[in-house]
Structures are given as structure tokens and as C-alpha cells.
Amino acid sequence: MAEQPHPIVVESVSRDTLSKQVVERIVQLLLDGQLKPGDKLPSEMELVELLDVSRPVLREALSSLETMEVIRRKTRGGTYFNYKVGSQPFRVMLALAVDNLPAIIEARMTLELGLVTMAAEKITDAQLAKLKATIDAISNYTDEDYGYVDKEFHRLIAISADNPVVEGMIDSLLLTHDRTDKLIKFREREKTVRHHTAIYEALVKHDPYQAFAEMYRHLSFVREKILGSGVNANDRKQGDIE
């Protein structure tokens, strides 16, 4: 009796995987020099044929690239690589990692932890006053729709680091904030205020060690909330997760 052949197991190709591959191929046009920042991309019809994908998959990929501000689309004017991409390569890396949420969150943590440490040494009284105003604004919100003010808190800290070399990364930092902020299903205003206040107080004291620790505690809380991978030990001790 002839042996039965081993069953063939092929992992199905998900739409998300196709979309990511399209993102990578479009970005590659920039990386290998075929197109430059500011150049116009081929039309949607041409890209569909070149990449051998459906129009919905292509549009999903283009939407991801637009969110990361790698491209810009003009009504009836076509699609272009952003001029800023050449001077801000971190945007390209974010685009390539668009479906790798843990990596995006870690990138945000890496940037913010360094920035808050420098901000602790350099932040001015005027900047501290603006930072405190964002905390007060969140405290006074009557609903949970305070994402913009939360983003402003983190932007002010990044600017306070006052480093021209990393300035190009600040916009990318805010993009990671937007990407993760949309995934928070429910907000806890009192906890946000408590975390932000602890960071603010460390900055008032110009204590980089405490500022780092408080920012790490805050961002770890955000990470656990989005990824849902368990309760952070520091937050459990502090009673932040209920």
C-alpha cells in the first residue's frame, strides 16, 4: 500500500500581510533612490498592476503611509512622498513597523524616556507653567475625550529637552502617540492626572532620575493597557490597576 503523502500546510496570506508588503515595496522606492522626497508616485492603477494586488489592499497600504506622513495625497493631484521624509528617516521606520504595535510602543518609550531626562535638566519655569496647565485642563474635563491635551503634555516635554539633533524625532514621537492613543478603549482620567502630576513634580525639582522613573511608570501603564499582557508590578503596588 502506497504511503500517503504528508499533508501540505500553507499559511494563508492575510490582507494585513499583503498591505504590509505593499508598504515595504513603496518605501523601498524611496530607500533605493528610484524616487526622492517630494516625487510623485505612480497612479493607483499603475501601482495595482506593478504590485499585483487589489485596489482595496493598495488603498489600505497608502492609508497607513499617509497616517505616518510618509506620503501625502492631493485631491485629483496624485500621491507624493513628503519632503520631510528625507530629513526624518524615523518616519520611514514607523511606516515599515506599522503593524508591529509592541515595537511602536517601545519606540515611543525609548524616545520619551530620553527626552524627559533631558527636559528635567533644561525645562524653564514658563514651560513648567504650560505643562501644569495641561494637567489642570485634563482634571477639569467632564468626559474622557482629552486625548489632544494628553498629547500636548508629551509634546511640551519633548520640546523642553531643547536638543536640535532630536527635534526631527519629535514629530515622529507624536505620530507614535497618535497611533497608540487610538487603541485605548477606555480612559481613566484620574490616573492620567496622577501620573502626569508625578512627572511634572519631578521636572519641577529638575530631578532626571525621578523624571525617568515616573515617565517609565506612566508609559508602562499605557503599554499594559493597550497590549493587555498583564498588570505592571509598579502600578499594582501603587494601586493604579483595579
Check residue 181 and give its pLDDT.
Answer: 72
Residue pair 20/98 in contact (Cβ under 8 Å)? The answer is: yes
What was the pLDDT predicted at 217?
96
Distance (Å, rounded) from C-alpha 158 to C-alpha 226? 22
- For the chain, domains (ranges, CATH) are 15-90 (1.10.10.10), 100-238 (1.20.120.530)
Residue 211: predicted pLDDT: 97
pLDDT of 7: 58
Backbone phi, psi, residue 142, to 5°: -95, -5
Mean pLDDT per block of 10 residues along the chain (242 residues) reads 50 62 85 86 89 89 83 86 69 67 83 93 96 94 81 92 77 71 76 95 97 96 77 40 30
